[in-house]
Each structure stands twice: as structure tokens, then as C-alpha cells.
């Protein structure tokens, strides 16, 4: 560890682990986490499991990601801490690779001193490591594919730079190709690498000036072929499961969404506040909205500046190409799912931007007088501390599903869907009062014509009503039951729960109708028939009560003993 770079990389890895280690205390979320963990635990690392990993196209083709989850299940079972620890370690390794790549590129960028190169590599690596935008990929178990693919993508880039330095050493070319293949086996979004390598050829490698555009593209034909095959296969796979048509957008609309995402990630890199685990695309409005038009204008302006400065400042053009390479596949052009953007999509796009900013800081430091360099160091240190603080705030957001969806509702203009997810998550955690509040908010935001949304919220209220029955909180059961029966008029469980709730709060007359409806919908519910008999008895309809009670006992003989001592049937017993 005598070389300063070695000390820098080791220290960077340790700091990254310390900053993100809080994620180890998080639970699994019901936002894809359990899907990965349960399937991986089912297959593990047996020969059959390995075969399944390399043949499964579930979600998309990602065998190495499945194997990494399988390893966790072998080591830790379904204990969340072990799974989170592996993701944190991958992120620490990625931070080390980013700093190492920056060190490599600094040799080509400018005639800097070793100290300046260390400053450059250290700043780029530490900001990559502690930036709050990185939290989602690290703290979300389903984000494992992102950190895993990034590891091999960065390895491939470093091998490419080594090959560019000595093209006669073909082993580095094959090492790059092998790492790229592993990246593709981790996540299809690694298809971006060939274009990102072209960005490096523009600057700082400056190979375009020597080889020409045709030459640098021709030499990457195998990478481009692999990227094309994986990209087409991914689009077909996503289309088969309906992911590409889940949000029906036309070409122009997709272009506007993509432009907004390009602007979004740059903005959040500079000012990472109001981060959310989910940014819904929402109901599409039109192209006249400023939130879509302004990003288009900004993108054109930045693109125009990059083209105008092509000769004088190739680093700007290279940054733009690299940034586009990583963002465009997840920008909305091939919209899959209901998210407009996602923090995890910025995991690698942040790298070219940091390289440009880091180079600018080195140039600025050179031009400053000695006394002002200390001021610059203080400002950069304060900025890093702020990033660390924001990251520490963001990690607990992914602690569990309830916390995650509550954060979504707090940070964005949430819709029925997001409030519904929060209510469902809170119900699973037995936080029923909070769940009822979020469910009511989801109800208030219901679109009048959205049948699927009404059904979703209705099921939440139905489950809440049934849960309130189990915990014998009947006033709340009535509140949830009324909403459930309004939204799901054909669901027997909601009517049965509402009827029982009304019966228990001393309103047998009002309980009759929902209980009759429950029996009508599902005649094989002995509890509903029994409660209907109690409601009839409470309103003086003793003959109806006797008839329905007999039907209930015929379905469930054990109810006969309960009927002999139930106060609600006292009038029926006296009538006999």
C-alpha cells in the first residue's frame, strides 16, 4: 500500500461501506424484492438452479443477477441483512473502479501532476460513492442487477483504456469483451457500453482523430452486434409481458418523456433533493406543458453547445455522448412500466458527468492562488458532507414497503395508485389506522371512469374491513366496509364484513341488507348466514332468523354450540 493510489482506493472502498452500511438493517420490500428472493431461494445454486438461471427470461435475461441472489440464499437464507450486505459491497467495488477509471483517463486528459490526478480520481470516486441518487440501486434488493452490471461495465471500460494504450496487447481487448459479456448477463441495459466507449474515443483517448469515425465504429462491430441482439430480445420480451404497452404513448409523447428524463437526471445530480422511490408517469396530458417543453429546449441548447465546441472542447461532446449512451435506453423511448424516471437509472450516467466536472475542478484549482485553493477544498468538503447527509436520509426510505410508499406520497403529487400501495403495505404491517387514512386518500383521488383503479382501492378497503373484524375493531370495520361495498358491489367478503361490523356496533337493522347481499353472492359462507340470523333476531324477524340459522348450522355444525350462548340470538331462543 505504498502507492498513494492504492491508499486512495482502499480508503474509498471503506468510506463507501461505512456510508451505505445502514442499508443492511433494511427489510425486503414488496416492490419486486420478494419476487427475486423467493425465486432465488427456490432454485439456489444447485445444477438445476444454475440451468434455470441461464434459461429463464423472467422479467428479462439476467442469469448472473439470479446467481448472485442464489448465493445470498445459500449463505443467509431469506435474512434481509445478508442480501443487503452483498449489494453494498458491490457498490463499494464500483466506487473503487470509478476512481480507478478516472485515474487511467487522467493520464490521457491533460499533463497533470500525480497529485492532481489523485485529486481528480478521488473526487470523482467519492461523489459517485456517496451521491444520494445511488441509494436506490444499492438499498433496493431488486436493484442488485444495476450494481452488478455496472461492475462489469466499468471493468470493461478499464480494460478498453488499457488496450487503447497498447493496442498490440490483444489480451486487454478480449478482457474487455469478456467483461462486457458478463455485464450483459447481469442486466440488458449494459448494451450502452459500445457507445460509451466511442465517447472515450472522442475524449480523452482522442482515437477519433487517428482512426476516424468509421474506424472506431468498425472495430466495435462484435460489441455492437451483441448489444443489438440483447436489445432486440429485451424489447420483444418486455412487449410479450405487456410492459411496453402498459402506458400507451405515441412516438412524439415518448420523445418528450425521454427529453424530460435527460433533464431530470442532470438536475438531480446537481441538486439531489425531493427524491422519491417512484416517479409515476401519471395521466398523459399534452406537449404544451412546461415540464415537457422546457427539457426539450434545454436538451437542444446543450446539444448545440456541444456541437459548437466540438473542436475546442471535445470533452463536452464526449460527456454528452457518454451520458446519452447510458440514459437513452431507460429514458422513456422504450417506456416499460409506469415510472417516468427512476433514481437507479442515474447509477452509471452520473460517471461521465462527474468526469467532466472533476476535470473542471482540477483546471480551476490550477488557476487559483494558493490561499483560495484552501477555500475551494472547504467548499468541496462541505458539499461532500451534504451529499453524505442526504444519502443517510435516503437509505431508511427503503427500509420496508410502508416507508417506501409513504415517502412516495410525501414527495410527489401522488395518485390513487400510490396511496393504495401505501395502504396495502401498512395493512401488512398491522398499522391499520394509518392504512385507513391512506386508503381514504386513495378513494378521494379516484378517477370517476377508472374501473381498474376502483377495483384496486375496493380490494384494499375489503381487506381492511376483514382485518378489522379479526382484531375486533368494529367501528373501523364499518368505515372500511362501506367503501368496499361501494367499490366492489359484487364482492361477498366486503358485504359480510360490513354486515358484521354494523351488527357489532348495535345496528342490526342496517346490517341486514349487506348480510343478505353476502349470502346472495356466496351461499357457502356459514359465518355470513349466522350473522344474518343474528341481524334478523335483533330486528324481531324471528322466523327468518330460525330459518337462516338452520342453514348456517347445516353448513357448519359447530355453529350450533355458539348459537346456544350468543346474546345476539337471545330473543330467538326465548321465542322457542
Angle at 149 between CA 143 and CA 155, to 5 degrees: 140
φ, ψ dihedrals at 201, nearest 5°: -65, -30
pLDDT surpassing 60 at residue 423: yes
**Of 63-67, 108-112, 494-498, the least confident:** 108-112
Using the predicted structure, report yes or no on whether residue 289 has a pLDDT greater than 70.
no
Report the pLDDT averaged over residues 426-449.
90
The confidence score (pLDDT) of residue 313 equals 84
Residues 6+ apart with CB under 8 A from 157: 101, 176, 193, 196, 197, 200
Lowest mean pLDDT among 154-163, 282-291, 385-394: 282-291
Cβ atoms of 544 and 552 within 8 Å: the answer is no
Mean pLDDT of all residues in 294-313: 78
Instruction: Using alpha carbons, select from 233, 239, 264 the residue that is nearest to residue 334.
Output: 239
What would be the CATH architecture of the domain defined by 449-575? Alpha Horseshoe (1.25)
Q: What is the mean pLDDT of the chain?
A: 90
- DSSP of 532-555, one letter per residue? HHHHHHHTT-HHHHHHHHHHHHHH
> How do residues 215-251 score in pLDDT, each as one tens digit?
999 999 999 999 888 877 777 666 655 555 455 677 7
Q: Where is average pLDDT lowest: 73-87, 145-159, 291-305?
A: 291-305
pLDDT recorded at residue 339: 82
On the question of pLDDT at 284 being above 50, the answer is no
**Cell 482515437, residue?**
207
- Which one of 247-256, 379-388, 524-533 scores highest in mean pLDDT? 379-388
Give the DSSP H or E segment for 311. none
Q: How confident is the model at residue 39 (pLDDT cuts 50, 70, 90)?
A: very high
The SS3 assignment for 566 reads coil
Here the cell at position 223 is: 460489441
DSSP string, 372-418: HHHHHHHHHHHHHHHHHHHHHHHGGGGSSHHHHHHHHHHHS---HHH
The pLDDT of residue 524: 87
* H or E stretch at 341: strand 339-341
Cell of 336: 416499460
For 27-31, 32-36, 259-263, 474-478, which range has the lowest pLDDT when averaged over its residues? Answer: 259-263
So what's the pLDDT on residue 304? 82
The pTM (predicted TM-score) of the whole model is: 0.91
The span from the first CA to the last CA of the chain, in angstroms, equals 94
pLDDT score for 232: 77
**pLDDT for 288:** 55
C-alpha to C-alpha distance for 151 and 88, rounded to whole angstroms: 12
Instruction: Please state the domain extents for the chain.
Output: 4-396, 449-575
Joined grid coordinates for residue 161: 483504456
Q: What percent of the chain has pLDDT over 70?
A: 94
Angle between helix axes 432-444 and 401-411 (nearest 10 degrees) is 40
pLDDT at 243: 53
Residue 285 has pLDDT above 50, yes or no: no
Q: What is the pLDDT of residues 440-481, one digit of tens each?
A: 999 999 876 577 788 989 999 999 999 999 999 999 999 999
Q: What is the pLDDT of residues 8-25, one digit of tens each?
A: 999 999 999 999 999 999
Amino acid at each position: 500500500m505504498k502507492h498513494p493510489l492504492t491508499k486512495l482506493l482502499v480508503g474509498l472502498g471503506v468510506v463507501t461501506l461505512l456510508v451505505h452500511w445502514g442499508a443492511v438493517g433494511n427489510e425486503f420490500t414488496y416492490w419486486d424484492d420478494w419476487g427475486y428472493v423467493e425465486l432465488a431461494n427456490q432454485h439456489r445454486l444447485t445444477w438445476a438452479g444454475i440451468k434455470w438461471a441461464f434459461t429463464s427470461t423472467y422479467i428479462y435475461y439476467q442469469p448472473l443477477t439470479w446467481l448472485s441472489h442464489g448465493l445470498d440464499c445459500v449463505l443467509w437464507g431469506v435474512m434481509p441483512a445478508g442480501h443487503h450486505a452483498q449489494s453494498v459491497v458491490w457498490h463499494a467495488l464500483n466506487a473503487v473502479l470509478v476512481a480507478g477509471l478516472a485515474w487511467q483517463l487522467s493520464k490521457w486528459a491533460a499533463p497533470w501532476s500525480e497529485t492532481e490526478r489523485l485529486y481528480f480520481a478521488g473526487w470523482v470516486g467519492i461523489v459517485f460513492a456517496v451521491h444520494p441518487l445511488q441509494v436506490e440501486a444499492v438499498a433496493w434488493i431488486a436493484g442488485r442487477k444495476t450494481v452488478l452490471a455496472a461492475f462489469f461495465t466499468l471493468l470493461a471500460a478499464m480494460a478498453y483504456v488499457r488496450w487503447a494504450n497498447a493496442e498490440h496487447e490483444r489480451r486487454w481487448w478480449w478482457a474487455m469483451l469478456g467483461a462486457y459479456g458478463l455485464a450483459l448477463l447481469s442486466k440488458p441495459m449494459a448494451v450502452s457500453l459500445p457507445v460509451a466507449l466511442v465517447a472515450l474515443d472522442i475524449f480523452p483517448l482522442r482515437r477519433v482523430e487517428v482512426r476516424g469515425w468509421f474506424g472506431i465504429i468498425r472495430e466495435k462491430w462484435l460489441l455492437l452486434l451483441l448489444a443489438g441482439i440483447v436489445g432486440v430480445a429485451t424489447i420483444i420480451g418486455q412487449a410479450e409481458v405487456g410492459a411496453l404497452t402498459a402506458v400507451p404513448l405515441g412516438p412524439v409523447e415518448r420523445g418528450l418523456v425521454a427529453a424530460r428524463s435527460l433533464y431530470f437526471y442532470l438536475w438531480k445530480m446537481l441538486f439531489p433533493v425531493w427524491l422519491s422511490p417512484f416517479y409515476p408517469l401519471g395521466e398523459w396530458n399534452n406537449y404544451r406543458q412546461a415540464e415537457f417543453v422546457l427539457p426539450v429546449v434545454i436538451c437542444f441548447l446543450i446539444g448545440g453547445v456541444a456541437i459548437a465546441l466540438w473542436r475546442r472542447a471535445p470533452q463536452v461532446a464526449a460527456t454528452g455522448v457518454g451520458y446519452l449512451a447510458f440514459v437513452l435506453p431507460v429514458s422513456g423511448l422504450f417506456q416499460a412500466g409506469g415510472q417516468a424516471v427512476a433514481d437507479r437509472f442515474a447509477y452509471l450516467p452520473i460517471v461521465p458527468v462527474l468526469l467532466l466536472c472533476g476535470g473542471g475542478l482540477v483546471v480551476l484549482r490550477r488557476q487559483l492562488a494558493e490561499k483560495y485553493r484552501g477555500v475551494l477544498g472547504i467548499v468541496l468538503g462541505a458539499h461532500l458532507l451534504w451529499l453524505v447527509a442526504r444519502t443517510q436520509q435516503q437509505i431508511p426510505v427503503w427500509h420496508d414497503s410502508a416507508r417506501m410508499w409513504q415517502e412516495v406520497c410525501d414527495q410527489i403529487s401522488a395518485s390513487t395508485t400510490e396511496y393504495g400501495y401505501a395502504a396495502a403495505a401498512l395493512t401488512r404491517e398491522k398499522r391499520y389506522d394509518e392504512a385507513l387514512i391512506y386508503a381514504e386518500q386513495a378513494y378521494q383521488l379516484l378517477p370517476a371512469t377508472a374501473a381498474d383503479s376502483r377495483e384496486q382501492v375496493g380490494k384494499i378497503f375489503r381487506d381492511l374491513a376483514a382485518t378489522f373484524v379479526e382484531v375486533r375493531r368494529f367501528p373501523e370495520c364499518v368505515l372500511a366496509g362501506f367503501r368496499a361495498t361501494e367499490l366492489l358491489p359484487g364482492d361477498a367478503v366486503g358485504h359480510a364484513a360490513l354486515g358484521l361490523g354494523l351488527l357489532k356496533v348495535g345496528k342490526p337493522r342496517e346490517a341486514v341488507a349487506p348480510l343478505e347481499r353476502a349470502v346472495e353472492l356466496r351461499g357457502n359462507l356459514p359465518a355470513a348466514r349466522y350473522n344474518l340470523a343474528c341481524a334478523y333476531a335483533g330486528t324481531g324477524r324471528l322466523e327468518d332468523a330460525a330459518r337462516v340459522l338452520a342453514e348456517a348450522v347445516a353448513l357448519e355444525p359447530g355453529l350450533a354450540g355458539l348459537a346456544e350462548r350468543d346474546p345476539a340470538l337471545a330473543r330467538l331462543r326465548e321465542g322457542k
